[in-house]
Amino acid sequence: MNGQDGTNGMDEWDDEVDLNEHRSKTDDSEAIDFFPPNYRIGRTKYMFVTGGVMSGVGKGVFSASLGHLLKHYGFTVSQIKMDGYLNQDAGTINPYRHGEVFVLNDGTECDMDLGTYERFLDDDLNQYNYITSGKVYRIILDKERRGEYLGRDVQVVPHVTGEIKYLIRTKAHEGPYDIIVVEIGGTVGDIENIHFIEAAREMLYDEGRDHVMFAHVTQVPYNKSAGELKSKPTQHSVKALLQLGVQPDIIVCRSTIPLNTKIRQKISLYCNVSEKHVISSPDTDSIYRVPTLLDQQHTAQILAANLKLNLPQRFNRSRAFDIYLNYLSRSHKTVRIVITGKYTDLHDSYVSILNALDHSKVKLDVNLETEWIDTSEYSDGRPIKDNILDGISGIIAPGGFGERGAEGKIRFIQYAREHRIPFLGLCYGFQLAVVEFARNVCGLKNAAHTEFDEHSDMPVIYLLPEQRKLAEMGGTMRLGGHEVKIIRDTLAYKCYQAEQVTERFRHRYEFNNDYKDAIEKQGMIFSGMTPDEEIMQILEIPEHPYFIGTQFHPELTSRPYHPQPLFQAFLQAACAYAEDAKTDVPDQVTVQAGQEE
């Protein structure tokens, strides 16, 4: 029985776990134990989440919402995402193919669902929260070359599934946690996730029925001509899951409207689950409503009953989510922001930016309209007409890689600087803001970024020294959380109210300090840097209402509970610009970000 201290009366595991050790038998037995040393079956419970019918159905939001719900019932919770692709991580995947690449504090480049997990759990995750097929196969092939499988023929079962189980249990050991929510990427029927589903089935066999559950998230489409929801896709999806040996305990039905009794009963009958275990998850105006929606259908109680757990306390909605729900019930003045990038056709490419803006708009009690401009359309000299940005009160230049769209982004940065529109440049946006300023203010007409002008005679942005001899691309950037020294009496210091902060990075290039004096002489200053002051990490223009660029990605650390200070100050400046634009050009904004309620 779990209590508020996160224990269930069983002995704790040892502190040290060797990921490369497991016990195996060398006789004709097929039994291989993939358990960390001193593992205790039953100490941690597992909820596996699968998806059906279509991708993007909402498994990530459901998993995160369930984790949030369980945490606020008093359990210790963590979450794992398993992706089927053979990449070892998400670092080299184009955002158009898989959405935003999220970066954890330890430098892990991962699926954007882990960003959702962090925001809902209000917790920092690490490499053990993310498993790909490539990561698993790398472990297996390295072990095989070292002879660690003791003469066995290495197979999908038991070796691939065993290593997956070992990684899941290693995360459970790390806490140790009461509950681990494991999301299996893709949909049932995808060939690339079969080994993950098989590993989950084996977990049920290994751990026992009282310690493992399955939730299946599926689309229930609305047939407009018939005027009703259709359960047939869900029935086929569950049948496909049954063929893999897994009977879901909960079916989460995504739909445009709430389920009615008839459709619940139909899904219950044909999918062999209790009607009470058919969870309705209709579209909402905010993902932060979902935990409450799940609680209204007693989802935590269903899980606790199946896993033989007592709920340590009543559900206590977090203060931030209450603020969110109250915000949604009110009307607000509107401010318009534009994001200038090259992945604008897929908004999931910038999902953390959108979340960071959402967190700040709630704090400031304003409505936000986000617009998009594809900068690749402006890289050939096409003029930026004033009416394109009519009514815009803030411009964001997001991160990115490569030459495409870079010159167009530079032109919008110039527009923001010259028209005194609040501006926030993120990573690549920081670098291109330097290029723009060097060219158009400092008179360095040939100033360039060596990523797209390798032989420039004015490389104001160039490769980090440690990057210059690297041959590989994956996992080799400056990644994860690093300390940033903040200079007092700057806009950055006013935002953070601190002389040192930790932010998350993902870059290969840096500002060339040979140009520092020339840049600062013309009015752009560097207000944040590494503690040794060797790498510039924040720039600003003091005479501008709000012009800040960061070499790091501040959007990655924004949470509903704690809006990121630079985003909050940016949106505050945009609000002031919107008000002042009615009468005159805005003066510099007084920033109040960084202060807690």
Give yes or no: 555 in active site: yes
Separation of CA 427 from chain center? 17
Give yes or no: 298 in active site: no
User: Which part of the chain has CATH 3.40.50.300?
Assistant: 50-318
List CB contacts of 527: < 8 A, sequence separation 6 or more. Answer: 486, 487, 490, 491, 492, 493, 538, 539, 540
Q: Over 90: is that where the pLDDT of 165 sits?
A: yes
Which residue pairs from 201-204 have beta carbons closer than 8 angstroms and sit at least 24 positions apart in sequence? 201/244, 201/245, 201/246, 202/157, 202/158, 202/161, 202/165, 203/46, 203/48, 203/165, 203/168, 204/246
* Amino acid identity for residue 496 in this structure: Y
Mean pLDDT, the chain, rounded, equals 88
Q: Which of the following CATH numbers is that of domain 50-318: 3.40.50.300, 3.40.50.10490, 3.40.640.10, 3.40.30.10?
A: 3.40.50.300
Q: Assign 319 to helix, strand or coil.
A: helix
Read off the pLDDT band of 15 (50, 70, 90).
very low
Average pLDDT, integer, range 381-401: 86
Instruction: Give yes or no for a contact between 399 and 353, defined as CB atoms under 8 angstroms apart.
Output: no
What are the backbone angles phi and psi of residue 55, rounded to the nearest 5°? Answer: -75, 160
Read off the pLDDT band of 25 (50, 70, 90).
very low
Single out the catalytic residue among 427, 442, 495, 575.
427
User: Which part of the chain has CATH 3.40.50.880?
Assistant: 331-580
Pairwise CA distance, residues 392 & 579, whole Å: 12
Average pLDDT, integer, range 302-325: 82
Q: Over 50: is that where the pLDDT of 142 sits?
A: yes
Q: Over 60: is that where the pLDDT of 141 sits?
A: yes
Q: Over 90: is that where the pLDDT of 166 sits?
A: yes
Class (C level, CATH) for 331-580:
alpha beta
Q: Over 80: is that where the pLDDT of 171 sits?
A: yes
Q: Over 60: is that where the pLDDT of 82 sits?
A: yes
User: What confidence tens digit (pLDDT) does each residue in 180-193 have?
Assistant: 999 999 999 999 99
Average pLDDT, integer, range 99-106: 92
Instruction: Give yes or no for a contact between 114 and 59, defined as CB atoms under 8 angstroms apart.
Output: no
Look-up of token digits 């999931």: 348
User: What confidence tens digit (pLDDT) does each residue in 581-596 have?
Assistant: 765 545 555 555 454 3
Predicted local distance difference test score (pLDDT) of residue 13: 44
Pairwise CA distance, residues 590 & 494, whole Å: 9
Q: Residue 294, CB half-sphere, CA atoms under 13 Å: how many?
A: 30
Pairwise CA distance, residues 120 & 102, whole Å: 15
Average pLDDT, integer, range 101-127: 95
Q: Over 90: is that where the pLDDT of 366 sits?
A: yes
Average pLDDT, integer, range 67-82: 95
Across 97-101, 222-226, 378-382, 551-555, which has the greatest mean pLDDT?
551-555
Predicted local distance difference test score (pLDDT) of residue 317: 62
Predicted local distance difference test score (pLDDT) of residue 588: 56
Separation of CA 407 from chain center? 28
List CB contacts of 12: < 8 A, sequence separation 6 or more. Answer: 176
Predicted local distance difference test score (pLDDT) of residue 375: 87
Give yes or no: 427 in active site: yes
List CB contacts of 472: < 8 A, sequence separation 6 or more. Answer: none
Instruction: Give yes or no for a contact between 80 and 184, defined as CB atoms under 8 angstroms apart.
Output: no
Single out the catalytic residue among 163, 202, 436, 555.
555
State how far the alpha carbon of 447 is from the alpha carbons of 301, 439, 459, 507, 511, in Å: 62, 6, 6, 20, 12
Predicted local distance difference test score (pLDDT) of residue 596: 38
Q: What is the DSSP string of 386-433?
A: GGGGTT--EEEE----SSTTHHHHHHHHHHHHHTT--EEEETHHHHHH
Single out the catalytic residue among 98, 173, 507, 553.
553
Q: What is the DSSP string of 342-398?
A: S-TT-GGGGHHHHHHHHHHHHHHT-EEEEEEEEGGGGTTS----GGGGTT--EEEE-
Burial label for 11, CB within 10 Å (0-12, 13-18, 19+), is exposed
To the question of pTM greater than 0.95 for the whole model, the response is no
User: What confidence tens digit (pLDDT) does each residue in 467-515 have?
Assistant: 555 545 555 678 999 999 999 999 999 999 999 999 999 988 899 999 9
Predicted local distance difference test score (pLDDT) of residue 224: 86
pLDDT over 90, % of the chain: 69
Q: Which of 27-36, 37-46, 289-298, 321-330 has the lowest mean pLDDT?
A: 27-36
Strands 23-24 and 250-255: unpaired
Read off the pLDDT band of 557 (50, 70, 90).
very high
Read off the pLDDT band of 23 (50, 70, 90).
very low
